[in-house]
Structure 1
């Protein structure tokens, strides 16, 4: 491409020439009933450490640079190649990024985001994080119990749950288990809809989704986006990142944001994107998917992108590959957009929306105000943990069997101890072994932190519960079946097979000490896990 500048203003065509839904920029401006999210000069940098010990270096990496835009009620897609900053921008808009290294402003209807924005908005993560051993309805009941205010009665909460189930078409699988690696459950599309339903319980005006089509086949992905489109027509502002949608999905978009290397390539009505790129010299081939075409342009794939440019003498256009000596392609596309009418209109509307609000230094990263009390959260977390244990009892049964076998083996080895110096040494060895066994058997508690890590992080950030509620709830639900019962069984077997406790005369104290050792070790492992 030559270094000459191109005219990038694109007239809005009244006729749909690209078979994309008729939603013009004027149509987007008519959405005034829902929430309008605007972001101003968003920059995000992270510190990356490399090397070892004395050679350790700290490098600052720029993830997002000067990102501006407006998300209105409708389907707002963030598209771009892998590593382009889609998920980072989504997390920034949803107030889920560390404020360190983050600059810029995000406004809701021209005002700063409230402190509890993360709790009031919905966020569906890329990997569906729901409790697989529970049914769809039980998962929704957990979300409703912890996120809806306590002033609502149980009848009102159940009505809200039934309404969401009906809205998302989950009636047939409402009482079916979601499923795990070992338990057959609902399909991938139904699992994704369950994740969306968990966030719709609070009836948020803004819903964020991180690549909602990941792991779904094309038909199921299309069904999920049709569902989101229907929800957006009810006045919701739906913002989502997506990697490579097919054409039937792309034509559902109302607004399109193209990102590459953390820079903004385009932001505006989705159906006007092809015309914009045509004005810059990139023409989409017939029958080519627009989403694939945009990614090809950004990645500089000359096999799929035809670059047309005029000769300086006015001769016919010829097709050439971009010169390697030209300015980097992403920089050129960024400059094109900065000089376009789309950017100027967006900046003008951003100034109108902000209305001086950006000058107010109001911190939105305040402590979350929870909808329920500590005891209420503790009760529901314990209840869910017990249901999860009953729905997947294999680990508990295996641990009890191992405990019984180990107790019988120890009893057989040290059976009939004598009252002589050798017997005293054997008794000391047995006491040491029993104590260490009780301690190290609690190491299996780490598994819970690994298995439920993503679930805990998502629910905590979304304002389901406090960290203390989750800690004590899991401690109580895991303590009785997984720690106390095996300790009692193991101590009882060794008590009757060995004469050690009766010889000492402190059998009750010994049982209590063994149980306390197991409980303390279990608690310390959990504390270390949460601290990490």
Structure 2
């Protein structure tokens, strides 16, 4: 490999050695408008605890180390091996990482990120978190109702929804349910586009996506990236992490950021990355996918790396441990990039963008701002929860059927209770079953919040609603109906089958005395003609 002190100079040409098209002046003009996101000396550390209670140790682990870069309007891809820090960098840029252990500055057009940046920007998570029992249009309406200001009329909101549906190509499935485990819904690509559409409701200038091609076949993934490419040409800055894209997807990238072990391997125009690695001594084989080639080089297991080692050492060093070899290779690549013209030119641009302005610690992590009021949020959360309850009747119907069967079984066991000491004991048993049933059926409430955990976290961070609005909305439209109806059915069945409180007024004294006699089983006293020895 070339010396790390050499200065790397990449000549500008119209087309690189693998036939990838270069950016021209016309292409640059397309991306002159929009938000420019810059990040300066980003470092992120987490504390990892290991061992047992007494011998537990806390170790600091570096996730990101001195990461710098500029993301302009266009497609900005973050590529790297698993565990390289792609998602962590994406969350840091989107202001969705815990500020503890985080240092550095993230600026928008040279200014500090606003406090509600996470609410104004769009963020599409890796796992599509949309309500599957609702249609595509209903999901978009929910996002529009809570994220757009109330000053907008319903007609204006519906116009924006229709426009997004048309831009995303969702006209045919606009009124189809997204789909759940029990309901057949739209395809994976249409589900991903629905998630993107929910974030486009606010027309954000910056859109973040965490591995948008996960779970999609190659053709669908290509269609999703083509959609993002069209949106980026409208002046929108799109930043996303991706894992092993195909060649047709890689050609769409405008900017490429390569990360490995939290360190920057390359940051610059995507179509110049091959020449950069060629200048470092790593030649891409013909007909090889550039994205796969970059990952192979970073992981140290490509033929280009082996050939490079043979050229330097005369033969491959097969006795070297892979982990040590990979780490040394990553350090060499990181140092080589630090001495390259790409890095020097980027730092000059970063200094110009910063202009001496540094963000205060935690400035972008203030409280979330909400567009709508508490009662407006409560209304729409209750409405969606009730639709979800009606749209997924399997669970609710099954719970009601189980409650009815359990009530009939208990009623058959304790049927025809007598007004004697045995009847008193049986009534105590019935009351025990009633209490136990009500207590244990209420435990299943926790499952409701666990199932919707990812959906709630994403929507809460994005500023859809308050925690209190979500809680009371679920309480009114989901918890109360699903707890009250089964309880009423169970209690009515038990009451009318057993007639628990029959003739309470007439037999009150008899019941009390019989209960006392049952306690005093070994007493020789006769109470109200009920011998204790017979109890």
**Cα distance in 2, alignment partners of residues 440 and 417 from structure 1:** 26
Aligned residues: 502
Q: Which segment drifts farther, 134-143 or 422-431?
A: 422-431
Instruction: List per-residue Cα deviations over 1:295-326 (Å, max 9, x = no partner).
Output: 000000143545448989xxxx9785699497
Aligned: 1:412 with 2:374? no
Instruction: List per-residue Cα deviations over 1:400-426 (Å, max 9, x = no partner).
Output: 111111111111111222222222222
Q: Which residue of 2 aligns with 1:278?
A: 278
**Cα distance in 2, alignment partners of residues 187 and 331 from structure 1:** 43
Q: Which residue of 2 aligns with 1:377?
A: 377
The 5-angstrom pairing of residues 169-184 of structure 1 reads 169-184=169-184
Q: Give RMSD over aligned pairs.
A: 2.3
**Cα distance in 2, alignment partners of residues 442 and 182 from structure 1:** 24
Unpaired segments ≥5 residues, structure 2: 506-535
* Counterpart secondary structure, 2:132: coil
Q: Which residue of 2 aligns with 1:441?
A: 441
Q: Which residue of 2 aligns with 1:525?
A: none
Q: Which residue of 2 aligns with 1:265?
A: 265
Could you tell me the TM-score, scaled by structure 1's length? 0.90
The 5-angstrom pairing of residues 29-44 of structure 1 reads 31-44=31-44
* Counterpart secondary structure, 2:62: strand
Q: Which segment drifts farther, 110-119 or 300-309?
A: 300-309
**Cα distance in 2, alignment partners of residues 76 and 156 from structure 1:** 31
**Cα distance in 2, alignment partners of residues 359 and 189 from structure 1:** 38
The 5-angstrom pairing of residues 386-401 of structure 1 reads 386-401=386-401
**Cα distance in 2, alignment partners of residues 160 and 186 from structure 1:** 22
CA contact under 8 A between 1:63 and 1:85: conserved in structure 2? yes
* Alpha carbons of structure 1 residues 431 and 355: separation in structure 2 relative to 1, 3 Å: same
* Alpha carbons of structure 1 residues 4 and 469: separation in structure 2 relative to 1, 3 Å: closer
**Cα distance in 2, alignment partners of residues 503 and 43 from structure 1:** 76
Residue 480 of structure 1, CA deviation: 3.9
* Counterpart secondary structure, 1:75: strand
CA contact under 8 A between 2:63 and 2:262: conserved in structure 1? yes
Q: Which residue of 2 aligns with 1:224?
A: 224
Instruction: List per-residue Cα deviations over 1:11-33 (Å, max 9, x = no partner).
Output: 22234543323326995587332
* Alpha carbons of structure 1 residues 134 and 69: separation in structure 2 relative to 1, 3 Å: same
Q: Which segment drifts farther, 18-27 or 229-238?
A: 18-27
**Cα distance in 1, alignment partners of residues 447 and 4 from structure 2:** 61
* Alpha carbons of structure 1 residues 2 and 270: separation in structure 2 relative to 1, 3 Å: closer
* Alpha carbons of structure 1 residues 338 and 15: separation in structure 2 relative to 1, 3 Å: same
* Alpha carbons of structure 1 residues 425 and 227: separation in structure 2 relative to 1, 3 Å: same
* Alpha carbons of structure 1 residues 300 and 25: separation in structure 2 relative to 1, 3 Å: farther
Q: Which residue of 2 aligns with 1:497?
A: 497
**Cα distance in 1, alignment partners of residues 443 and 37 from structure 2:** 46
**Cα distance in 1, alignment partners of residues 275 and 2 from structure 2:** 20
Q: Which residue of 2 aligns with 1:289?
A: 289
Q: Which residue of 1 aligns with 2:463?
A: 463
CA contact under 8 A between 2:15 and 2:21: conserved in structure 1? no
Q: Which residue of 1 aligns with 2:356?
A: 356
Q: Which residue of 2 aligns with 1:45?
A: 45
Q: Which residue of 2 aligns with 1:239?
A: 239
Q: Which residue of 2 aligns with 1:196?
A: 196
* Counterpart secondary structure, 1:11: coil
* Alpha carbons of structure 1 residues 361 and 386: separation in structure 2 relative to 1, 3 Å: closer
Residue 59 of structure 1, CA deviation: 1.1
CA contact under 8 A between 2:31 and 2:233: conserved in structure 1? no
* Alpha carbons of structure 1 residues 7 and 369: separation in structure 2 relative to 1, 3 Å: closer
**Cα distance in 1, alignment partners of residues 362 and 427 from structure 2:** 67
Q: Which segment drifts farther, 328-337 or 381-390?
A: 381-390
Larger radius of gyration: 2
Q: Which residue of 2 aligns with 1:144?
A: 144
CA contact under 8 A between 2:4 and 2:335: conserved in structure 1? no
Q: Which segment drifts farther, 7-16 or 49-58?
A: 7-16
**Cα distance in 2, alignment partners of residues 477 and 92 from structure 1:** 36
Instruction: List per-residue Cα deviations over 1:81-128 (Å, max 9, x = no partner).
Output: 000000000000000000000000000001111111111000000111
Aligned: 1:90 with 2:90? yes
Q: Which residue of 1 aligns with 2:511?
A: none
* Counterpart secondary structure, 2:364: coil
**Cα distance in 1, alignment partners of residues 357 and 500 from structure 2:** 76
Q: Which residue of 2 aligns with 1:345?
A: 345
Instruction: List per-residue Cα deviations over 1:105-158 (Å, max 9, x = no partner).
Output: 000001111111111000000111111111100000000000000000000000
CA contact under 8 A between 2:2 and 2:280: conserved in structure 1? no
**Cα distance in 2, alignment partners of residues 275 and 473 from structure 1:** 56
Q: Which residue of 2 aligns with 1:126?
A: 126
Instruction: List per-residue Cα deviations over 1:256-276 (Å, max 9, x = no partner).
Output: 000000000000000111111
* Counterpart secondary structure, 2:38: strand
* Alpha carbons of structure 1 residues 347 and 27: separation in structure 2 relative to 1, 3 Å: farther
**Cα distance in 2, alignment partners of residues 5 and 33 from structure 1:** 37
CA contact under 8 A between 1:109 and 1:353: conserved in structure 2? yes
Instruction: List per-residue Cα deviations over 1:353-410 (Å, max 9, x = no partner).
Output: 0111116557121111101111111111111111111111011111111111111111
* Alpha carbons of structure 1 residues 471 and 461: separation in structure 2 relative to 1, 3 Å: same
* Counterpart secondary structure, 1:129: coil
Q: Which residue of 2 aligns with 1:9?
A: 9
**Cα distance in 1, alignment partners of residues 362 and 472 from structure 2:** 34
CA contact under 8 A between 1:123 and 1:199: conserved in structure 2? yes
CA contact under 8 A between 1:298 and 1:330: conserved in structure 2? yes
Q: Which residue of 2 aligns with 1:64?
A: 64
* Counterpart secondary structure, 2:186: coil
Unpaired segments ≥5 residues, structure 1: 506-532
